[in-house]
Structures are given as C-alpha cells and as structure tokens.
Amino acid sequence: MVQSIIFILVAAAALGYAFVGFRKVYQNIHLGKKETVSGPTGERWKNMALVAMGQKKMFKRLIPAVLHFMLYVAFVFTQIELIEIFIDGVFGVHRFFAVPLGGFYNFIISTIEVLSVLAFIATVIFLIRRNILFIPRFNKPEMSGWPKLDANLILIFELMLLAFIFTMNGTDEVLQSMDPAHYPDTNLAITGWLGPAIFGGLGQGTLSILERVGWWGHILMVFVFLGYLPASKHLHILLAFPNTWFARLKPAGEMENMPAIMEEVKSMMGLGDPNAPEPDMNAELPEFGANDIFEMSQIDLLGAYTCTECGRCTSVCPANITGKKLSPRKIVMDLRDRSEEVGEKIRSGNAEYAKDDTLPVSADNFDDGKTLWDFISREEVHACTTCNACVEACPVLINPLEMITKLRRHEILTEAAGPQDWLPLFNSIENQQRAWSVGTSRTAWTEE
C-alpha cells in the first residue's frame, strides 16, 4: 500500500512536470502566424503513415536507417510493458497480465526483450558513430556544446533503461522458483537463461531488492525521459507525426505567392486592373517575409521543434559542401532557439520586453530589441541556392528553404537591403522589367 501511494505521488509529479514542458512547447509554436492547411486529407495521412511511422525517408541511408528502426520498434513495443508497470505500481500487484494472458504474455515480453537487445546494439553503435568515428555531419560547428551533449544523454538514458529492465526481468526469473506465490511463472527469451546465469547465486533478500531496483529504476528513467523530452531534439518522436501531417503539399520548389508584390509587378508592366483604385500613398508599408518568429508560420515553428538534428540537410547542401557558411540544420535550430527565448521572456511577464509598458507582455506586445538576425547571419541566408536538396533530405518533412526565403524576402523587400552585387539586378527589374541593364527599351522590338 505504501509503495502504491509513493508510486502515484511520483507519477503525478513527473507527469505534471512533463505537462508544463509540453505546454511551453505548444505555446512557443503558436507564437507564429497561422497558416491555412489545404490539400487532400488522404495525402496527409499517407505522409504520416509512411514518413513518421514507416520512416520511409530514413532508408535512403540503409545502415543508420536499420539501426534507428531497431530503436524505434523497441520503443513502441516497450510501451506494452510500461502499461503493465503502471498498473502494478498503482494497484500494488506484480506482473498483472502474466496470469490472464498465460503463454501469450511470454511471447509479448520475450519479443520486447529481443527488441531491447537489438536496441542495445544500435545504441552502442550510435554512441561510437558520434564519439569515436566522428561522422562529419555530427561534428559541424552548430553541434558543439548542448546539441552534442543532448544526443549523448539520450543514448545513455536508453542504456540505463535497458539495464534496469533486464535487471528486473532477470531477478524475477530467479525469484519465481523461490516465491511462486508472488512471482508468476514465466519463461522469457533472454532473461530466462541470462537471469539465472547472472543472479543465480544470490539470496532471496538480495534478489528481491535488485528486482525492485530494476522496477523503480526503469519507471524513474521513463519519468526522467518524459520530463527531459520538451528540452531535447528527441521531441521528434512525438512531433514527427503532426509535422508530417501538416507538411505543405505544394510541389517542391514552389514558393509562396505574395499578392501585394504580384499586383505591383503587374502595375509596373502595364498588366494591372485599370479600374483598380489608386493605392493610398500615406498607408503604412506592409511587412514582407519574416525577420522574427512572429512572421514565421506555425508550421515553420513546428518543424523547428521536430528537427532531429541529424544533419542530413546540411550534408547534402551544395553551399555547405563547397565551404560556405550556410547550414540548413543551423537555420532550423536557430529558429527553435529564438522561439524558446521569446517564449520564456513572454511568460516572465517582465515589462522591459513590452512595446507598450502599460500593457502586459504578449506576442502582440513584445520587443526585446532582437530578431532572428541576431541568431542567423545574412551571409548564411545569401549562400542558399534554393535547390531544395535540404527539403528532399529531411526524414520528417521539415522545410528549411521556406524559412530561408522568408528571411531573404524581409531583407530585400522590407529592409531594401541585400548583397551589393544583387542590387543592379533588382534595379534593372524594377526600372526596365528585365534582369540585364540595357539602354534600349524592352519593348523596342515591337516598335520595329
């Protein structure tokens, strides 16, 4: 009874802490602009099934895909045993499903054990790849510090989870012959022989303690993982599903149309509506593109939080490959970092972050003197060739190009800035409606 009360209190505290973290992520994503979600719903469900659940795009690189799939399948199946642990913890029972399910229970738990062994192998290989083999895409400048630690921490957590669950199952197998009334008889694929081999010489008291250490250790690591998830790149295990569902269905490379610009260009070329009213010259100029998260779409911010930081986008980026500063992964990570910063400042309620200090700090009343340009350099954005290689490479359908083009648009159309060698092109298009500055009129050939 005492253990059940302790478990319920610990579980409530852990779930409450995790809820606060996930709510902050939700609030941060909603700092962006709403975007109309259009296109066939069936195509969205297909994306989610094939890309998020089936990990279709991962298999463009076979070895890491197979290793990741081992971890993924083990994670999914382990939730079955986790449900049983919750029931045992709340009601103070032991292996609640063992007796009613009988032989099928052995099959389920044995499957989980086999998958856990595969997950152990995959985890060790991933640690070696990141820390010994030094795969180039894992050692870019943006991966130093916290991103590198984050990737290693989650792999260490995985090893601890596996160690605890095998300790729990292994000691349980030995205790079944000593106390059959409390420990239901099972015959598991791995711990059925590994448990007696490791723990067979220990006394019942020691085994009982180790079994509880394994049980509590496993569930506590689950709670730690759950609370840690909102601050980690591993949030993608949850957000990959909504991100693939909400992913834009337009053809690759198709950019968002800006009606105001289109009408202006039509007017310059004499193609506008002759009956359209004259524009108000005193009206405030519209903002084009984005220079902060508030002008980015909620889909962009969802993508930033879904990013796995795998670096596939950066590894195929021609600008990055040729030594330029651009890294699509860094752009996405910077967007998330800025969202985190703004979200925390708004939640602080500090009046120094308000445009109007007579009103509460909010998304509509926020100014900390910073923008995305404090995180992302203009050199990075200018280097993009808009080739869509990063979009094609992303295993969870994030679109770094959308973020880059919005930053570019703001710089060029709103700030009237940009690289000096681009300005003649813009001036020529604006004044002569063509890319090259030539003395004769563009329509001179029609006059001949």
Q: In this predicted structure, what is the pLDDT of residue 285?
A: 64
How far does the chain reach from its first CA to its final CA, in angstroms?
98
8 shares a domain with 120: yes
- Residues paired with 33 in a beta bridge: 297
Confidence band of 305 (pLDDT split at 50, 70, 90): very high
122 shares a domain with 11: yes
295 shares a domain with 229: no
| Residue 448, domain member (yes or no) | no
241 shares a domain with 111: yes
Distance of CA 59 to CAs 68, 238, 344, 393, Å? 10, 20, 37, 11
255 shares a domain with 140: no
Ramachandran bin of 225, using left for φ above 0, alpha for ψ from -120 to 50, beta for the remaining angles: alpha
185 shares a domain with 301: no
- In this model, does residue 129 exceed pLDDT 80? yes
* Token pair listed for 6: 């302790």
Q: Are the C-beta atoms of residues 340 and 270 closer than 8 Å to each other? A: no
Question: What is the residue range of 330's domain?
Answer: 250-270+285-434
Total number of domains in the chain: 2
239 shares a domain with 263: no
| Residue 264, domain member (yes or no) | yes
| Residue 52, domain member (yes or no) | no
Query: 289-293, 371-375, 422-426: which has the minimum mean pLDDT?
Result: 422-426
| Residue 441, domain member (yes or no) | no
146 shares a domain with 174: yes
Give the CATH number of the domain where residue 358 resides: 1.10.1060
Query: 39-53, 163-177, 244-258, 281-295: which has the minimum mean pLDDT?
Result: 281-295
261 shares a domain with 125: no
291 shares a domain with 236: no
- In this model, does residue 434 exceed pLDDT 80? no
Q: What is the DSSP letter of 51?
A: I
213 shares a domain with 331: no
Confidence band of 80 (pLDDT split at 50, 70, 90): confident
| Residue 447, domain member (yes or no) | no
| Residue 240, domain member (yes or no) | yes
- Residues paired with 297 in a beta bridge: 33
Kindly tell me the burial class for residue 434, based on how many C-beta atoms sit within 10 Å of its own C-beta (0-12, 13-18, 19 or more).
exposed
Confidence band of 415 (pLDDT split at 50, 70, 90): confident
| Residue 416, domain member (yes or no) | yes
| Residue 442, domain member (yes or no) | no
Sign of the torsion formed by the C-alpha atoms of 417, 420, 421 and 425: positive
290 shares a domain with 198: no
Confidence band of 283 (pLDDT split at 50, 70, 90): low
